[in-house]
Amino acid sequence: MAHATEIHDIPAVPASSLLRRVGAKLLSWLEAVMNASQANRCRLEAQRLEALSDAQLSAMGLPREKIVAHAFRQYLYL
């Protein structure tokens, strides 16, 4: 049994097309939402650590003044 397959070329979308511009805006919006979500998680982690006692922080080897840097370390590259 033989099968025939037709291949249709899809015309290239011009660089200045509306579709491309909308796609770029959507991508930038999604990146902003993802960054805000991650920053919120870091903020919640900082709040959780702030609620710990000095003894608990000491047991973790984390001085209180370094909590924010610790929570946001992936953004600060520390």
Q: For the whole model, what pTM was predicted?
A: 0.58
**Segment 1-22 mean pLDDT:** 68
- Write the pLDDT tens digit of every residue in 48-69: 999 999 999 999 999 999 999 9
Question: Three-state secondary structure along the chain?
Answer: CCCCCCCCCCCCCCCCCHHHHHHHHHHHHHHHHHHHHHHHHHHHHHHHHHCCCHHHHHHHCCCHHHHHHHHCHHHHCC
